């Protein structure tokens, strides 16, 4: 049978029973009424013997006895399919038995029976072809003898049989969940033998019903002490479809993160499944989870599903004992505290709820039989109940108890140590005694580390103050306090440096262990003694000065300075010239001031740059020294004239001498030697004494360096000019000069003068 799309056109969904379609309901009711009337007309036509005889031909038949009674078979009920199928089968057997009995009573004629089995999907449209009821021996004129058609009302409204063609068609919408098997019984008597046809039509299931829970939500309560495998009934899940279209899975889809629950599913019928919620944990925990919201989903083979929400309220049980926030408390209390003083508050908590979490505090009487202390049963404040005495008892250890208010109270405990403090009214007495090697606190800076400098004594008549806290202030990191088996010692902790810290004004402070704690302090001074451990250092490593060679004896040339970081005699510096220095006879240095002065006449020509080494020595034993170099430049004084080798020169020059020829060489010398330099030279030609034609211009050339200055006079050209001057290439300076005459006067300024003649 091909699938019908009629209901899809009508409802816009997969074909289902029309009662489940919410669209176009009014039109559907009209069509249903028309179809019912058509079914009645068809039934009446089948009941006519004439028509049945006419349409009997062509139907497949088997011989059987006559049965002229019409039977109506009840359909299986929807609520109890198993019982209804049993009842339905028994009804068919009963009809057959009655027919057989009737046939046996009619002269023993043979009973003939015909069976046809057809099937159709429940979603077909009205008028759809189901199958054919026909055969070679089931043909006219027998069809005209059909006397009875036996169908129940639901089948009568759902199917029709065309007796002429044998075609079975639908006349109404089908619903397998209401009736899944329809039976049509046709009877006819072509002769003396009665025959009947049984047509069974099976309605095939489609997935048109989703699983349905008995309840969409359920609220339950369960004690946290419920044992493992404890079951909570959840009702049933129904799905009237068959096979894979029925319910396939039932599971918890949310709210069961800790896997505290599981589902147990039992099948009670083809359509119903019974659910139980099972506790999987050994024990639920109210303190961990007080409420669960489980979502249970039932899904069929087509993916349709329904959900049920189960709200589980976990009921608290008194299964947790009170717990103090500390297992052991400790409190120090002054012995003179007044009665009624609150000294400490303890606190306990209980994870249960309601009365199970309410706590009452108490003190175990066995740990405080004299009742020196009490505790508030509600707040947990511990108070002093009697006067305390340190000398009588200095420590109490109490056992604290916390009970909840459950039906079976649970107990939690903790310990409390109360330590009495002796009242302290006198601060400690501190004394410090320096070791004999360090009288009056004078400690040499070369004292080794870990050397004991002084011994400290702390005394208090009420308490052992030496066991208190010791602090040393302003020690600059050089000293520390150390406890020895018998005393407290002041020792050197790092190398001393007098140049950095010459005196330390320190304070020793002691905080005793009394109550309240008292402090005492002691001030003392340590003087770090100097050790000659520093060399004198000059202000600069090299000095330089300039002095005229004509300086008088005793004239100060330069003053040097050196310092020493040491103290007293170790830092006192004296100056001297290093033995072996050149020209020590020319200079002297003041041992105290460092002033260097001349002690003899200076001579530039002998030593223009004398160098001295000045030594600075401190007063230590042995002394430490430092040195510096002093360079003195002796400035020359020009107090002597240069001289020519002769005062007059006479030469003859031929007039045909070439320009550039040397005609005369002259020499000069300066008694000052290298301290004097010729700055410039010139030749003056003032006259010509010869009547011959001879050159009037001459050149003076330098041919040898100082101190012997040699000049050459050369005729640059032949001319008869009266006078000519030949300057040198250097600039003139104010120097003593002499003249040299060559026919006319030739002068060499700055150095010396001589006369020349031609």
Per-residue pLDDT band for 748 (boundaries 50, 70, 90) equals very low
Tell me which of 2.60.40.60, 2.60.40.1730, 3.40.50.970, 2.40.50.140 is the CATH number of domain 429-529. Answer: 2.60.40.60
How, if at all, do strands 328-334 and 411-421 pair?
parallel
- Cα atoms in the 13 Å half-sphere on the side-chain side of 325: 6
Distance CA 133, CA 139 (A): 11
- Per-residue model confidence (pLDDT) at position 698: 44
Distance CA 146, CA 197 (A): 10
Q: How far from 110 is each of 88, 107, 140, 149, CA to CA, in Å?
A: 27, 9, 20, 21
Please state, for a pLDDT cut of 70, what percent of the chain lies above it.
67
Q: For 407-435, give one letter per residue: b (16+ CB within 10 A) or e.
A: eeebebebebebebbbebeebbebebebe
212-315 and 429-529 share one CATH topology?
yes
Q: Which of 469, 431, 18, 471 is nearest to 208 (CA)?
A: 18
- Per-residue model confidence (pLDDT) at position 173: 87
- Per-residue model confidence (pLDDT) at position 652: 82
- Per-residue model confidence (pLDDT) at position 48: 36
Give backbone dihedrals phi and psi of 119, rounded to 5 degrees, phi first. Answer: -140, 150
Distance CA 596, CA 611 (A): 12
Per-residue pLDDT averaged across 570-592, rounded?
85
DSSP structural state of residue 407: S
Q: At residue 68, does pLDDT exceed 90?
A: no
Distance CA 276, CA 255 (A): 16
- Per-residue model confidence (pLDDT) at position 329: 96
> Which stretch of 13-22, 387-396, 564-573 has the lowest confidence by average pLDDT?
13-22
- What are the extents of the domains in the chain? 6-204, 212-315, 323-421, 429-529, 537-635, 643-757
Q: Is 541 exposed, middle or buried (0-12, 13-18, 19+ CB in 10 A)?
A: exposed
- Per-residue model confidence (pLDDT) at position 367: 93
- Per-residue model confidence (pLDDT) at position 411: 92
How, if at all, do strands 112-121 and 195-204 pair?
parallel
Residue recorded with tokens 């009997």: 56
Q: At residue 395, does pLDDT exceed 50?
A: yes
DSSP sequence for 664-723: EEEEEE-TTGGG------EEEE-----SS----EEEEEEEE-TTSEEEEEEEEE----S-
672: number of Cβ within 10 Å = 19
pTM beyond cutoff 0.75: no
* Residue with more model confidence, 580 or 130: 130
Q: Which of 181, 178, 156, 169 is nearest to 126 (CA)?
A: 169
Per-residue pLDDT band for 458 (boundaries 50, 70, 90) equals confident
Q: At residue 191, does pLDDT exceed 90?
A: no
- Vertex 467 angle, CA 463 and 471, to 5°: 120
- Per-residue model confidence (pLDDT) at position 70: 35
Tell me which of 1.10.3720.10, 2.60.40.60, 3.30.70.20, 1.20.1290.10 is the CATH number of domain 6-204. Answer: 2.60.40.60
Per-residue pLDDT band for 466 (boundaries 50, 70, 90) equals low
Q: Are 719 and 695 in contact (CB under 8 A)?
A: yes
Q: Are 186 and 197 in contact (CB under 8 A)?
A: yes
Highest mean pLDDT among 155-159, 242-246, 457-461, 479-483: 479-483
Per-residue pLDDT averaged across 676-692, rounded?
44
- Per-residue model confidence (pLDDT) at position 462: 52
> Which stretch of 315-324, 325-334, 452-461 has the lowest confidence by average pLDDT?
452-461
Q: At residue 744, does pLDDT exceed 50?
A: no
Helix (H) or strand (E) holding 41: helix 25-47
- Per-residue model confidence (pLDDT) at position 670: 58
CATH superfamily of the 537-635 domain:
Cadherins (2.60.40.60)
CATH class of 212-315: mainly beta
Average pLDDT of every residue of the chain: 73
Distance CA 748, CA 727 (A): 9
Give backbone dihedrals phi and psi of 69, rounded to 5 degrees, phi first. Answer: -100, 135
Q: Are 426 and 462 in contact (CB under 8 A)?
A: yes
- Cα atoms in the 13 Å half-sphere on the side-chain side of 444: 7
> Which stretch of 289-298, 516-525, 688-697 has the lowest confidence by average pLDDT?
688-697
Q: CATH 2.60.40.60: does it fit domain 323-421?
A: yes
Highest mean pLDDT among 263-267, 636-640, 723-727, 731-735: 263-267
Q: At residue 22, does pLDDT exceed 50?
A: no
Per-residue pLDDT band for 220 (boundaries 50, 70, 90) equals very high
């Amino acid at each position: 049978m091909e699938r019908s799309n009629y209901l899809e056109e009508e409802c816009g969904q997969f074909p289902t029973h029309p009662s489940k379609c919410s669209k176009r309901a009014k039109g559907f009711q009209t069509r249903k009424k028309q179809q019912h009337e058509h079914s009645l007309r068809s039934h009446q036509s089948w009941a006519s013997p004439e028509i049945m005889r006419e349409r009997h031909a062509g139907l497949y038949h088997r011989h059987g006895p006559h049965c002229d009674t019409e039977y109506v078979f009840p359909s299986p009920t929807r609520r109890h399919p198993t019982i209804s199928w049993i009842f339905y089968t028994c009804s068919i057997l009963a009809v057959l038995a009655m027919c057989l009995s009737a046939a046996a009573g009619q002269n023993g004629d043979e009973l003939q029976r015909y069976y046809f089995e057809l099937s159709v999907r429940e979603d077909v449209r009205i008028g759809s072809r189901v199958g054919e009821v026909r055969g070679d021996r089931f043909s006219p004129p027998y069809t005209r003898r059909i006397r009875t058609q036996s169908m129940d009302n639901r089948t009568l409204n759902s199917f029709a049989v065309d007796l002429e063609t044998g075609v079975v068609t639908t006349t109404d919408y089908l619903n397998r969940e209401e009736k899944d098997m329809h039976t049509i019984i046709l009877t006819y008597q072509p002769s003396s033998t009665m025959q009947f046809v049984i047509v069974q039509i099976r309605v095939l299931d489609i997935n048109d019903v989703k699983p349905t829970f008995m309840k969409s939500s359920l609220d339950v309560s369960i004690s946290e002490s419920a044992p493992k495998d404890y079951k909570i009934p959840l009702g049933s899940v129904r799905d009237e479809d068959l096979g894979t279209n029925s319910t396939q899975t039932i599971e918890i889809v949310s709210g069961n993160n800790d896997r505290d629950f599981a589902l147990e599913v039992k099948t009670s019928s083809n359509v119903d499944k019974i659910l139980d919620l099972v506790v999987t944990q050994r024990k639920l925990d109210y303190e961990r989870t007080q409420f669960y919201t489980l979502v249970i989903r039932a899904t069929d083979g087509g993916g349709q599903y329904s959900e049920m929400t189960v709200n589980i309220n976990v009921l608290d049980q008194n299964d947790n004992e009170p717990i103090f926030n500390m297992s052991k408390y400790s409190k120090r209390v002054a012995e003179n505290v007044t009665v009624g003083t609150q000294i400490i508050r303890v606190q306990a908590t209980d994870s249960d709820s309601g009365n199970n979490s309410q706590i009452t505090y108490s003190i175990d009487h066995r740990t405080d039989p004299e009742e020196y202390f009490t505790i508030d049963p509600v707040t947990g404040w511990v108070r002093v109940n009697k006067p305390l005495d340190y000398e009588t008892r200095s420590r109490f250890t109490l056992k604290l108890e916390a009970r909840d208010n459950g039906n079976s109270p649970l107990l939690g405990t903790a310990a409390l140590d109360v330590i009495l403090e002796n009242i302290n009214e006198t601060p400690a007495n501190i004394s410090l005694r320096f070791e004999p090697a360090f009288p009056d606190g004078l400690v040499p800076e070369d004292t080794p580390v870990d050397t004991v400098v002084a011994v400290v004594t702390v005394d208090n008549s009420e308490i052992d103050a030496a066991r208190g806290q010791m602090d040393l202030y302003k020690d600059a990191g050089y000293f520390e306090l150390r406890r020895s088996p018998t005393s407290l010692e002041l020792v050197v902790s790092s190398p001393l440096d007098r140049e950095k810290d010459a005196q330390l004004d320190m304070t020793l402070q002691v905080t005793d262990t009394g109550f309240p704690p008292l402090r005492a302090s002691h001030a003392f001074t340590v003087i770090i003694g100097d050790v000659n451990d520093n060399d004198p250092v000059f202000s600069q490593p090299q000095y330089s000065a300039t002095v005229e060679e004509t300086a008088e004896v005793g004239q100060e040339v330069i003053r040097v300075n050196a310092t020493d970081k040491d103290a007293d005699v170790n830092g006192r510096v004296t100056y001297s010239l290093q033995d072996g220095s050149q020209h020590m006879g020319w200079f002297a240095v003041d041992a105290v001031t460092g002033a260097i002065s001349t002690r003899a006449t200076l001579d530039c020509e002998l030593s223009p740059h004398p160098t001295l080494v000045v030594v600075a020595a401190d007063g230590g034993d042995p002394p430490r020294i430092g040195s510096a170099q002093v360079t003195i430049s002796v400035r020359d004084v020009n107090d002597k004239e240069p001289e020519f080798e002769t005062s007059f020169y006479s030469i003859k020059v031929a007039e045909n001498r070439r320009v550039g020829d040397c005609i005369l060489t002259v020499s000069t010398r300066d008694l000052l030697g290298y301290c004097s330099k010729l700055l410039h030279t010139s030749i003056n030609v003032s006259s010509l004494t010869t009547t011959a034609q001879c050159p009037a211009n001459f050149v003076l050339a330098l041919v040898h360096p100082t101190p012997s200055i040699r000049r050459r006079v050369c005729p640059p050209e032949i001319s008869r000019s009266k006078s000519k001057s030949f300057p040198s290439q250097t600039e003139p300076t104010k120097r003593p000069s002499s003249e040299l005459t060559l026919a006319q006067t030739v002068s060499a300024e700055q150095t010396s003068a001589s006369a020349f003649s031609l």
